[in-house]
Structure 1
Amino acid sequence: MVLFRVSPNLLSATLLMALCVLSTALHGQSQDPQIPKHERIVPDPVQPKPFTTVVTRRTPMYTVEFRSEDQLTQHDRLLLADAEASIAEHAGFAGLEYQQSSWIYRQIVCPTFPNHLFLRYTRNNGTGDMSVFSASIPRNGEGRVRIVPILKRGYSLFSPAPINALTISAFNHIRAEEGETANSDWLGNALCYAALAGSQPQIRPPDAEPAVHKPIPSLTAVMDVETQTHGMQVLRFDDAAARPHPMEWSMTFTRQGKLIKATHRPASMMTVNPASQKPAVSRTWPVPQSGQN
C-alpha cells in the first residue's frame, strides 16, 4: 500500500480558496433583491374557544322562556317527582325553609342545555319578603340535582347571586354535565346564566323602535375574544327587561370552557327626548341573527 503525503502549504491554499468561494456566494445571495432577508411566517389564526362564531344558533329568540307549572311535559313531571327529595335537602341546607307551603315554580327553558330541566322556585310572603332559588335536574341521569340560592326573605344569600362563586360553580358543573352541546350557542349560555341567577333576561332586538322617554340599551350583545389574556372569551349583553332599570351582564370564560368571573351592573343607557333631533345611536356588535352565532 502506498501512502500519499499532502504538503501543508497546498492544504492551506485549498482551504483558503474554498472559503473565498463560499464568502463570494453568500455575499452575492444577500445582494439579490429577489430573495428576502428575513422570511416571515404568519401563524394560523387561533379559533375562538369554547364558543365559536360560525355555528347556527339553536333559537333566534333573544329571551329565556318561562313556562308555568301546568305547562310541564309528563316526562318532566316524573323527573321532578324523582328529584323532589334532593331539592328539599339542598334548599334546607341553604336555609330556604322549603318544607313550608306556598312555594310555586316555573320552568326555565334554555335550548342550549337540552339535557337539563331548570326550575325557578318562588315564595312570596308580601312586600320585601320573597324567597327565590333555581334548581337544575339532569335529564339523562348523568349529574346531580343542584340549586342556586337567590333570595331568602328579601335578602341575598352570601352575596348577590349573579356574581356569587356558588352560582358560578353550579353553572360550571352544569356545563360539564351537558358536554359539548353547551358550547353551541354563546348567547344562549349568557341568557341562561342570567336566568339561573334570578333574572328573566330579554335583549331588545337591534331594530327595536325607541319611544319618547323610553330608555334603550346602548349595547345589545357581544362576544369579545381577549387574545392578550390567553384567548379568554367575554360574553356581554344588556338585559332590557330588568327592573327597576336595565342591567349589563358580563361573563368571562377560559378556552377550556370554565366560567371564572361574572359581573352584573346597571347598563349604560340613552334616553330619546321629544326635542332631540338626533337619531338614536347604538354601539356596534348587534345580536347575532338566526344562521349566525
Structure 2
Amino acid sequence: MVPFRISSVRFIPTLLVVACVLAAASLQSQDSGPSKHDRIVPDQVQPKPFPTTAIRQTPLYTVEFRSADQLTPQDRLVLADAESSIAEHARFNGFEYQQSNWTYRQIVCPAFPNHLFVQYTRNNGAGDLTIFSASVPRNGEGRVRIVPILKRGYSLFSPAPINALTISAFNHIRHEEGETANSDWLGNALCYAALAGSRPEILPNDAEPALHKPIPALTAAMDVELQTHGTEVLRFDDAAARPHPMEWTMTFTYQGKLVKATHKPAPMLAVNPAPQTSAVARTWQVPQSGQN
C-alpha cells in the first residue's frame, strides 16, 4: 500500500490562510460583542400607567360636585336604571337605604367619562351621618359598585381613604374605564379622594384667595420609580379638607393597579403650583440585585 502524503510545501501556506481567517473572525467577534468590562446601559423605561409628558384633559384642578337637580337628562336615565342595584348593594353593606331621608349629589370626574359617580348622604343630626359613594358604568360595560364611607358617624371596617374595599372598587372602575383612565394622573388622585368621602380642591397659582376658599398654589406631584415593574406615586395636598389640610398619597404599579393609598395632615410648608403637564418630581433607577 502506498502511504498518503501531503507536501509540506503546500501545507504551510494552507495553515497561514486558516490562521488569518481565525484571527479576523476573533477580531470581528470582539468588536461586535461587549467585553466583560463593558457596562451595558439598559433601554429607557417609559413610566406607566401615567405618561410623564401628557397634557391634562381639563384645566380644572378639582372634581366638581353637582346637586341632584343639576344632573343631565342622560345621567338621570342612567341613575334610574341603576337604582335597584344601588339599593341592593347599599343594604348588603349595612346601610338602611329603604328609609326616605337620603339625598345625593353627583361627583364629576373628567378622567372617568364612562362612569357616573354619585354620593349618597343621610343626615340625622350631630354624630349621626351616613355616607356612601356609588359608581355606575354609563356604557353598560361593568357593574354598580359601592364605596362605604360612614355609617351613623363611624367609618366602616377602616377609614375609606385607606380601606382595601375602596382600593379594590377603584381598580375595578379603572379597568372598566379602559385606557382613558390613564390620561390624567391628577384627575385619578382627585377622583379617588372624592369617592372616599373628601371634597378635594387644588387651585392654580394665579387663583384669587377668597373667604371660605382654599389657598391657591397647592402641592401636586407625581414621583416615578423605575425598576423591574415600576411604580408611580401620586401626591397632592387638599387645603379644602376640614379641620386641617390633608396630604394624599396613592401608589400605582406599572400595570396600572392601585396598591396603596394613604392620607394624613399636610404640613403645608411649601407652596407649589399644580402642574399643567405631568411633571415628575423625582425619578430614579433602582439597581437590581448584584448591580452597583
C-alpha separation in 1, matches of 2:264 and 2:10: 82
C-alpha separation in 1, matches of 2:142 and 2:267: 38
Q: Where does residue 287 of structure 2 map in the other structure? A: none
* Count of matched residue pairs: 270
Displacement of 1:240 in angstroms is 1.1
Q: Where does residue 290 of structure 2 map in the other structure? A: none
Q: Where does residue 123 of structure 1 map in the other structure? A: 122
Q: Where does residue 172 of structure 2 map in the other structure? A: 173
Identity %: 74
C-alpha separation in 1, matches of 2:63 and 2:98: 28
Distance 1:243 1:144, change over 3 A: same
2:108 maps to 1:109: yes
Q: Where does residue 277 of structure 1 map in the other structure? A: none
C-alpha separation in 2, matches of 1:111 and 1:155: 30
Indicate conservation of the 8 Å contact 1:218/1:268, yes or no. Answer: no
Q: Name the SS of the counterpart of 2:188 in structure 1.
A: helix
Displacement of 1:128 in angstroms is 1.1
C-alpha separation in 1, matches of 2:228 and 2:246: 26
Indicate conservation of the 8 Å contact 2:161/2:261, yes or no. Answer: yes
Indicate conservation of the 8 Å contact 1:90/1:147, yes or no. Answer: yes
Displacement of 1:189 in angstroms is 0.5
Backbone CA RMSD of aligned residues: 3.3
Indicate conservation of the 8 Å contact 2:204/2:217, yes or no. Answer: no
Displacement of 1:96 in angstroms is 1.1
2:236 maps to 1:255: no
Q: Where does residue 265 of structure 2 map in the other structure? A: 266
C-alpha separation in 1, matches of 2:109 and 2:161: 17
Q: Where does residue 201 of structure 2 map in the other structure? A: 202
What code does the residue aligned with 1:192 have? C
Unaligned ranges ≥5, structure 1: 30-35, 271-280
Q: Where does residue 85 of structure 2 map in the other structure? A: 86
Distance 1:229 1:129, change over 3 A: farther
What are the Cα deviations for residues 232-266 of structure 1, in whole angstroms up to 9, with x where unaligned? Answer: 11111111100001111111111111111111111
What code does the residue aligned with 2:169 have? A
C-alpha separation in 2, matches of 1:220 and 1:156: 27
What code does the residue aligned with 2:6 have? V
Distance 1:65 1:88, change over 3 A: same
What code does the residue aligned with 1:43 have? P
Indicate conservation of the 8 Å contact 2:166/2:196, yes or no. Answer: yes
Indicate conservation of the 8 Å contact 1:218/1:269, yes or no. Answer: no
Indicate conservation of the 8 Å contact 1:106/1:121, yes or no. Answer: yes
Q: Name the SS of the counterpart of 1:188 in structure 2.
A: helix
Unaligned ranges ≥5, structure 2: 29-33, 279-292
What code does the residue aligned with 1:282 have? V
What are the Cα deviations for residues 172-217 of structure 1, in whole angstroms up to 9, with x where unaligned? Answer: 1111111111111111000000000000011243345789xx9969
C-alpha separation in 2, matches of 1:146 and 1:23: 70
C-alpha separation in 2, matches of 1:16 and 1:250: 71
2:127 maps to 1:139: no
Distance 1:27 1:69, change over 3 A: closer
Please say which of residues 36-45 and 55-64 is displaced more in the overlay.
36-45
Displacement of 1:282 in angstroms is 3.3
Indicate conservation of the 8 Å contact 1:205/1:220, yes or no. Answer: no
C-alpha separation in 1, matches of 2:228 and 2:206: 33
Superposition pairs of residues 31-46 of structure 1, within 5 angstroms: 41-46=40-45
Q: Where does residue 278 of structure 1 map in the other structure? A: none
What code does the residue aligned with 1:187 have? L
Q: Where does residue 69 of structure 2 map in the other structure? A: 70
What are the Cα deviations for residues 100-152 of structure 1, in whole angstroms up to 9, with x where unaligned? Answer: 12110000000111111000111111111100000011101111111100000
Indicate conservation of the 8 Å contact 1:64/1:110, yes or no. Answer: yes
2:19 maps to 1:58: no
What code does the residue aligned with 1:107 have? Q
Distance 1:3 1:64, change over 3 A: farther
C-alpha separation in 2, matches of 1:26 and 1:146: 66
Q: Where does residue 282 of structure 1 map in the other structure? A: 271
Please say which of residues 195-204 and 18-27 is displaced more in the overlay.
18-27
Distance 1:143 1:88, change over 3 A: same
Q: Name the SS of the counterpart of 1:269 in structure 2.
A: coil
Indicate conservation of the 8 Å contact 2:118/2:135, yes or no. Answer: yes
Distance 1:229 1:245, change over 3 A: farther
Q: Where does residue 226 of structure 1 map in the other structure? A: 225
